[in-house]
Structure 1
Amino acid sequence: MANRFPDFIIGGAPKCGTTSLHFILNQHPAIGLPDEEIHYFDADDPVTHPDFFFHKDGELIHYDNRAENGELLSHYAACFAPFADLPLVGEDSTTYLFSEVAPVRIRDRLPEVRLVFMLRNPVARAYSQYWHMVKSGRTICTFEQAIHTHLAIILGSTYLPHLKRYYDIFGSDRVKVVLFEDFIANNQAAIDGVTDFLGTSRMEVRDEASWFNKTYYPTSLTGQLALNRVGRKVVAWRYGNHLGSRRGPGVGLRQKLHHLWFTRVNKILLKAERPPPMRESTRDYLSDHLSRRNDGLSELLGRDLAALWPGFDG
């Protein structure tokens, strides 16, 4: 049987409701989606995935995403094998939007694919990504420090140039943009728009099955960052065997340690239902800076985003 590859991709942006969109679409009888984000088309991108890279005896260890690497392609294809008989197969990898290498690779491998992107107030998105990094053990610094040490926080909220590139490569008829705020306000209308775009039947979105990503925050940021310092070597192995493409006696042990850390230790302080508010001076800076980075986005989308995103002027 020939390999089955995606008919559509949910390509980002991170922390914009893509997990919930995935969760809802996965209930559609005609749609199949692997559970995890796959990141096949940008796994070797050090800008979007610095934690996919390792060093051993001075050598850079990385994923080989060249088109001729049949082994990694086989691992990618295996993700969709369980859905081979379904009318529509998709995947979501939320860094594709701002990866410089992903769009052309996607076009070359999946020339007819449709792409769905979710956007959110860029300041709120950046703050949400920071707290995700805190909770997942991937940072040991404050938000103000993270703004300039973790480049993906700003890059992930830089929508305009990356979205325009997808429009240029695939055409606007094969790119669907969903705004997080619209998605929250009316799940049903947002999902109807997506299923119409994908060319499949509409589905009923039930309230009890429409929001997947319930999250908790640390009761003490200082305490959580201290935990992250202790566990950072364990955390670093999260993507050590991405797509199941690596072998060796240490792989299973590292995976067990990673599982134990996150089920027994890391979650100890994750009890709060919301994070502390952002500093107003930081918010003012980000509102201005991210408006400049996205200047022209309202025109591109045909939507007055300033009316939807407080502080935005782009």
Structure 2
Amino acid sequence: MPLPDFVIVGTCKSGSTSLHQNLRKHPDLYTPSNEVHYFYSRAQGRYNEGPEWYERHFDEAEDGQTVGEKTPLYARVPEVASRMHEMLPEAQLVWIFRDPVQRAHSHYWFNVNLGKEPCSFERALQQERAGEREEDVERAYLRTGLYAEQVERYLEWFSIDSMFFCTLRELKSEPAKLFGRLYNFLGVDHEFADRIHSEQRKTTTHTPYSPWLRHVVLSHFGGQSLARKIEYKLNSRPSSGYPEMDDTVKQDLYDFYASPNQRLREITGLQVEHWNAARLSK
């Protein structure tokens, strides 16, 4: 029974879905269409289901295919690296990163729209910094952007040579080049990369005026209720996309991530200077 040869381990809201969808087009690769969430138990984790449950996700792989899976929350949950190494000691790990400030903002609004986040962005960050969300891996907007410490945790169990690093910017601007590198890393036909084209997804998300109201309605009445339909009509902003981030908050976040970003560059060799270049002028 096949087990993954590679795992897309992170990171959340950084382009892992687009990366995964394009990987699935390669005839020599097999991955389940959905995230598996196996190696942890908290939140939506399914580690308690046991190894046979995990193995069944790869039953449809054909002989000779390179097998993988994608669960970007693996990067964030501390216990995953050791558990993954125990079961998949030879696995290749794929990482994709995004400007952590923009990633945090996107992650926040993603949870707001699902009704999981009742607080403002500023309040959510304050709570996280105060240690009020230590066990909340799904709403860890700040900590999920500390990429270097996540990579270093995996380096306790896996070698740097077993890891592939890229950025959302590469995925958008040079998809064929990126997938050529990735296919070589995975040991499959790299010429298939010429068929990959960057797909610019246009968001049609209409964010709520009140995250708290969205949270209350969805948590109490559900997504198919009349209350939900009324809430969506009255509480949704008319234009799609996310509201602009407050400049003071944005500057604070770029300052917060400056040192971790530099450490990520030292570890991975990734060119992430454009993240610093996006900082506001003081």
TM-score (norm 2): 0.83
SS at match of 2:39: helix
**Alignment of 1:108 onto 2:106:** no
Q: Which amino acid aligns with 1:92?
A: K
CA distance in 2, matches of 1:301, 1:180: 15
Deviations 1:66-90 (A, max 9, x none): xxxxx53222111111124351111
Tell me: CA distance 1:82–1:157, structure 2 relative to 1, closer, same or farther (3 Å).
Answer: same
Of residues 298-307 and 111-120 in structure 1, the stretch that sits farther from structure 2 once superposed is: 298-307
Q: Work out the CA distance in 1 between the residues paired with 2:158 and 2:202.
A: 33
How has the CA–CA distance of structure 1 residues 63 and 89 changed in structure 2, closer, same or farther, with 3 Å as cutoff?
closer
Are the equivalent residues in 2 in contact too, given 1:166–1:175 (CA < 8 A)? no
Paired residue type of 2:257: L
Q: Aligned AA for 2:251?
A: D
- Following the alignment from structure 1 to structure 2, what is the Cα–Cα distance between the partners of residues 146 and 216? 24
* CA–CA separation in structure 1 for the residues paired with 2:82 and 2:237: 39
* Secondary structure at the counterpart of residue 156 of structure 1: helix
DSSP-derived class of the 2:75 partner: coil
The equivalent of 1:230 in structure 2 is 217
Q: CA deviation at 1:148?
A: 3.3
Residue from 247, 253, 265 that aligns with 1:280: 247
- Aligned equivalent of 1:131: 109
Out of 57, 69, 73, the residue aligned to residue 95 of structure 1 is 73
Q: 1:285-304 residue pairs with structure 2 within 5 A?
A: 285-304=252-271
Moved more, 185-194 or 144-153: 144-153
Aligned length: 262
Written as runs of structure 1 = structure 2, the 5 A alignment for 1:214-225 is: 214-222=202-210, 225=212
Q: Is 1:189 equivalent to 2:177 in the alignment?
A: yes
CA distance in 2, matches of 1:303, 1:105: 27
Q: Give the distance between the partners of 1:169 and 1:17, measured in 2 at CA.
A: 25
Deviation at 1:302, TM superposition (A): 2.5
Q: Decide which of 145, 157, 179 is 1:157's aligned counterpart.
A: 145
Cα offsets for 1:264-309 (capped at 9, x unmatched) = 8487548643211100000011111122344422222224522454
Structure 1 residue 215, shift from structure 2 partner: 3.1
Supply the distance in 2 between the matched residues of 1:37 and 1:267 (Cα, whole angstroms). 28
Q: Against the structure 1 CA distance between its residues 184 and 121, is the aligned structure 2 distance closer, same or farther, given a 3 Å change threshold?
A: same
1:32 aligns with 2:10: no
1:93 Cα deviation after fit = 0.7
Q: Are 1:19 and 2:14 an aligned pair?
A: no
- Name the TM-score, length of structure 1 as normaliser: 0.75
2:207/2:240 contact within 8 Å kept: no
Note if contact 2:22-2:196 (Cα within 8 Å) is conserved in structure 1: no
Shift of 1:201: 0.7
Q: Structure 1 residues 146 and 112, CA, compared in 2 at 3 Å: closer, same or farther?
A: same
The root-mean-square deviation of aligned C-alpha atoms, in Å, is 2.5
- Stretches of structure 1 that go unaligned for 5 or more consecutive residues are 53-61, 66-70, 235-256
1:302–1:274 Cα change, 3 Å: same
Identity of aligned residues (%): 27
Cα-to-partner distance string for 1:6-60 (whole Å, 9 max, x where unaligned): 1110001101100000110111111111121111012x24xxx3xx4xxxxxxxx
Instruction: Decide whether the 8 Å contact of 1:187 with 1:205 is kept in 2.
Output: no
Letter matched to residue 195 of structure 2: V
Q: What letter corresponds to residue 290 of structure 1 in structure 2?
A: Y
Whole-Å separation in 1 of the counterparts to 2:92 and 2:82:
14
Aligned to 2:8: 10
Structure 1: distance between partners of 2:142 and 2:123: 12
Q: Is the 8 A contact 1:216 1:271 kept in 2?
A: no
Task: Assess if the C-alpha contact under 8 Å between 2:165 and 2:270 holds in 1.
Answer: no
Corresponding letter in the other structure for 2:199: W
Cα distance in 2 for partners of 1:63, 1:38 equals 8
CA contact (8 A) 1:12 1:96 kept: yes
Is the CA contact 1:167–1:175 (under 8 Å) kept in the aligned structure 2?
no
Query: Once the two structures are superposed, what CA deviation does each residue of 1:73-127 show, in whole Å capped at 9, x if it has no partner?
Result: 2221111111243511111111111221001111110011100000111101111
In 2, are the aligned partners of 1:135 and 1:270 still within 8 Å (CA)? no
Give the match's secondary structure for 1:40: coil
Gapped regions of structure 2 (runs ≥ 5): 134-139
